[in-house]
Structure 1
Amino acid sequence: MNDFLSKEIHSLAKQIKKGEISPVQLVKSTIDRIKKTDPSLNAYITVNEDKALKDANEMEKEIKQGNYKGPLHGIPIGIKDNIFTKGIKTTMGSEIYRNFSPKENAFVINRLIKAGAIIIGKNNTHQFAFGPTGDRSHVGPAHNPYNIKKMTGGSSGGSAAAVSAYLCFGALGTDTGGSVRVPASFCGIVGMKPTFGSISNRGVYPLSWSLDHVGPLTRSVIDNALLLNEMVAYDREDPKSIRRKKEDYTRLLGKDMKGKIIGIPTAYYYEDIDEEIQSAIKNVIHTFEMLGAEIRQIKLSISERSLEAQRIILRTEAYTVHENNLKEYPDLWDEEVKERLQTGLLTKGFEFARALQNRELAKKEFNEALDDCDILLTPTMSILPPDIGSRDVTITNRYGNHIRSTITKLTSPTNLNGFPSLTVPCGFSKDSLPIGVQLIGKEFDEATLYQFGFALEQEISQEINKKRHSIMLSL
């Protein structure tokens, strides 16, 4: 394996700009790595080999002519297979769309292309992005690079596995109940669910119009911020896109923690957590204290009404999206996904209206909690990556917890209220499975989340990167 495949975007960008590494080299080496490694991971549904090489040659010419576009110029990026890419097969992880090639790019794809990124391929996804396990796709499950018997998490499991295993340098995913942060945590990388409306969803196959977010997955915090810099832009054709002043999400990286306040919720987020995860999070809190941050207990009760609101909105909107396909193609569905979609028929009109009202109450609760601190800190997941196919899991010696509600327990609240949430690797279990910490911030304050994530990363990344590299080299 070429050494530069394990490098991060920000360091590669400097070498590309100087002509020390070419985009053609990067693409060829990435494709070789995919051919060698992906048969065991199943992180890609489609590899964009010919077009990526053609684009790389064009990028190389541009850079040699002095037309350098920025840190994504010439960088191979993976794309979750529910985000439309013109002329590249986009299947949604479903037999129904196995031969579908969009005629237009999603808005966010055009943003990346404008920045010079190269689309290396389309990443495996849970069918129609409707599942946090990542093991229900028409091409089979994505496999966790740290242990191929384990789940990647979903639904952006292929994107997370590809980034972690050096099969691309960054990737895009979507997050409706945790589908960027879950696989990022399970695969030991960085994942951001930005503020709702900050990134256009136009050209992304919907799951739930009012809960869907597009977000970046990377191996480092700075790379994540660099991707977000290019992804955030106002889209006049997307009614949910919010016009904001252009900002640099890297601007607070390296700022110290003195005087900063971290809120630790006193309930919900720290209940029924795996002991090894608890230990890793305690170490994170201690690290921030050593860096000068104040740790403050915060009253934030996630009520059952909020959890039920997220479930009602998701299942109702998902059924509405898929109603016609359920009728036209009744036999082309994963049965688990199909059964879950049909629960949308159970929702009564007044229940949906109440769920929308409860979402506003949930936003109010988080706003009040964040009045007293800069960010909230929680585990990203309450469990370690389970075996592929598992549906009941053990938490603190209690068996029988359903995996979907367990996996999304700590991530779905900020899909409901739309607040930005960042997961950062923070350690490993005794069996070398990744553990992530979740940082939750105020609306449109992603830069502060990156500031905290970067500060933590600087303290602990050496050990994490060393372990990742040794495991990925063995694939």
Structure 2
Amino acid sequence: MRPYELTLADAAAAIRAKELSPVELTESVLARAEAVESHLHAFVGVRAAEARRAAAEAQDEMAAGRHRGPLHGVPLGLKDLIDVKGQPTTASSSVRSDHIAAEDSTVAARLADAGAVLLGKTHTHEFAYGLTTPQTRNAWDEGRVAGGSSGGSAVAVAAGAATFAIGTDTGGSIRVPAALNGVVGLKPTYGLVPRYGVTSLSWSLDHVGPVTRTVEDAALVLAALTGHDPRDPASIAAPREAYPPHGEGDLTGLRVGVPRNYYFDRVAPDVESAVRDAIDRLRDLGARLVDVDIPMTRYVQAVQWGLMVPEATAYHEGTLRATPELYAPDVRVLLGAGELLLAGDYLRAQRARTLMRRAWARMLAEVDVVVAPSTPLTAAPVGQQSVQWADGSVEGVCDSYVRLSAPANITGVPALTVPVGQGADGLPVGMQLIGRPLGEGTVLRAGRAYEATRADAGRLAPDGGVLGAAASAPTPGLPAPVSAEPAPLSGEPAPTPAVEARN
């Protein structure tokens, strides 16, 4: 096995045992990145010289007897919203073409303290405002979308061009691309990972978390990122801890909530089948399946867009007015739409979120985790705008991706996506495990137990997206693409109704 094929945990173990050096691992991953970058475009830029220096320093430290932990000497990709002192943070936008970070973000500083080797910045949908990352291609099939907005991070990990990566998640932006590329993505509890030095999309919905090949890897990265930072007003004063807790593998007594509504509505049959098979495996591991009703589902879309759109517009107000031509058309339309929303709509969305959080807390008091599909369909062909479901309804591709991930952002609870096989088109399917606030240990325990039942856990995508054009054609029995005119812009929401919520 070549070093770039190792999971983070396996690479760390090999480095610790002196069977592999940080320099050897970094050189292998750099060579892999060079081989796939020309057609996958996961990185804004790879800083090979700096990575080699950092790997050599890590190797020297270990030779001197200083080992910083499992991330020491391991190469990573960092989403290009996250500041690293002296490096550009472009947010994959012309608006930020001249921006150089004055200091490290909290996340970058903690990864540096852990001894991780930064390869470079990974692409995002411009300012994280979209679910496709159009400049990046799916690691399994170049004709399919990467998912977004952390598409570059997910593709780099899935292709072996980074051993792990960091993304952000405002409406599914870690979980969607992770699911579509067959890797693991974790959106932690709101505030658990500090966001200081991270470009915001929507401050009340933004999260930072890991993208990895396995659940075990995600646990190792999360442990390095957590801890209070007073510079982030939302940061939680929760102690750092090791994840997951002892007892992994046996899920006896774990109450797993299986939704009766919402999460399996308008889901492709092959996606539903793969997820339900995975739920059966959890039951076989000792978990007790409990039917649950997801509360307040009619408000999800209105609350998500009612919070995100005005907050994003407020963040970009100055540059949007000064240089609107520098924004991509789809993002410019969304930012302009935020200027049309009334303060009353935003306040109603905030009130509805409070009620939704309370309702979810009551539901989660009855179960330990909720399981659901991560996305309702596999990676869509590039350029496909909409999908028609079996009931005749038509939905934007981006709206379909955000529909199943948004509730965890609105409520702030942890959500993990794990690969659960492939759909009829041969593309990855992901399952979400959603837990209580600060319930990362339980979510990771369940995900790791499931992962241990799969012989293909931690696999890389086929070389070069070998599924190719054959996989990009519509598959019989799956939702049909729709190309109605006028086609919605990528990431454009449906009209947002006012949210009515009363105590």
- Flag whether TM exceeds 0.5 (same fold): yes
Which residue of 457, 460, 463 corresponds with 2:456?
A: 463
Instruction: Give the structure 1 partner of residue 118 of structure 2.
Output: 119
Corresponding position of 2:26? 27
Unaligned runs of 5+ in 2: 468-503
Match of 2:172 in 1: 178
Map Cα deviations across residues 7-66 of structure 1 (whole Å, 9 max, x no partner): 111111121122221111112221111111111000000111111111111110000111
* 2:342 aligned partner: 348
Verify: 1:128 aligned to 2:127, yes or no.
yes
Show the counterpart of 1:431: 425
TM-fit CA distance, 1:331: 1.2
Q: Distance in 1 between matches of 2:465 and 2:333?
A: 40
Query: Which runs of no fewer than 5 residues in structure 1 stay unpaired?
Result: 136-140
* Alpha-carbon spacing, 1:154–1:58, altered in 2? closer, same or farther (3 Å): same
Match of 2:141 among 139, 144, 147: 147
CA distance in 2, matches of 1:472, 1:252: 38
Is 1:46–1:122's contact at 8 Å kept on the other side of the alignment? yes
Look up the SS of the partner of 1:331 in the other structure.
helix
Instruction: Report the counterpart of residue 76 of structure 1 in structure 2.
Output: 75
Asked if 1:194 corresponds to 2:188, the answer is yes
Structure 1 residues 473, 341: CA separation in 2 closer, same or farther (over 3 Å shift)? Answer: closer
Separation (CA, whole Å) in 2 of partners of 1:76 and 1:210: 30
| 1:35-114 matches, cutoff 5 A | 35-114=34-113
Return the offset for 1:465. Answer: 4.7
- Could you tell me how far 1:245 is from its partner in structure 2? 2.1
Separation in structure 2 between the aligned mates of residue 469 and residue 102 of structure 1, nearest angstrom: 33
- 1:75-474 paired onto structure 2 within 5 Å: 75-135=74-134, 141-252=135-246, 254-396=248-390, 398=392, 400-460=394-454, 462-463=455-456, 465=458, 468=460, 470-471=462-463
Aligned partner of 1:138 in structure 2 is none
Q: Using the alignment, how far apart are the partners of 2:329 and 2:218 within structure 1? A: 35
Structure 1 residues 161-212: Cα deviation after superposition (integer angstroms, max 9, x where no partner): 0000000110000000000000000000000000001111100001101000
- How far 1:355 moved relative to its partner? 1.0
Letter in 2 for 1:388: V
Deviations, residues 222-273 of structure 1 (Å, cap 9, x unaligned): 0000000000011022111110122111324624111111001111111011
Q: How far has the Cα of 1:156 moved from its partner?
A: 0.2
Report if the CA contact (8 A) 2:300-2:406 is conserved. Answer: no
TM-score, normalised by the number of residues in structure 2: 0.90
Report how far residue 347 of structure 1 moved. 1.3
Contact 1:166 1:472 in 2 (8 A): no
Contact residue 159 and residue 173 of structure 1 kept, 8 A: yes
Tell me, in whole angstroms, the C-alpha distance in 2 between the residues paired with 1:201 and 1:119.
Answer: 18
Distance 1:396 1:149 in 2: 24
Aligned equivalents of 1:27, 1:87: Cα separation in 2: 22
- Tell whether the 8 Å contact from 2:140 to 2:461 is kept in structure 1 after alignment: no
- Partner SS state of residue 208, structure 2: strand
What is the one-letter code of the residue matched to 1:463?
Answer: D
Residue by residue over 1:304-360, the C-alpha shift from the partner in whole angstroms, topping out at 9 and shown as x without a partner, is 234311211100000001111111112111111100111111211111111111111
| CA distances 1:347-398 after superposition (whole Å, capped 9, x unpaired) | 1111111111111111111111111111000100011110122221233374
How many aligned positions are there? 467
Are residues 209 and 470 of structure 1, via their aligned partners in 2, closer, same or farther at CA, if it must alter by over 3 Å?
A: closer
SS across alignment from 1:410:
helix
| Residue 109 (structure 1) shift | 0.6
Counting aligned pairs with the same residue, the percent is 34
- Residues 3 and 24 in structure 2, CA contact (< 8 A), matched pair in contact too: no
Using the alignment, how far apart are the partners of 2:126 and 2:462 within structure 1?
A: 32
Listed one character per residue, the Cα deviations across residues 88-146 of structure 1 (whole Å, up to 9, x for unaligned) are 222101012123221211111100100110111100110000001211xxxxx110011
Matches of 1:417 and 1:469, distance apart in 2:
32
Contact 2:145–2:381 (CA<8 Å) still a contact in 1? yes
The residue type paired with residue 226 of structure 2 is V
Range moving further from structure 2, 187-196 or 397-406: 397-406
Counterpart amino acid of 1:391? Q
Assess if the C-alpha contact under 8 Å between 1:45 and 1:124 holds in 2. yes
Q: What amino acid is aligned across from residue 88 of structure 1 in structure 2?
A: Q
Counterpart residue type for residue 262 of structure 1: V
State the distance in 2 between where 1:95 and 1:33 align. Answer: 28
- 2:456 maps to a residue whose letter is E
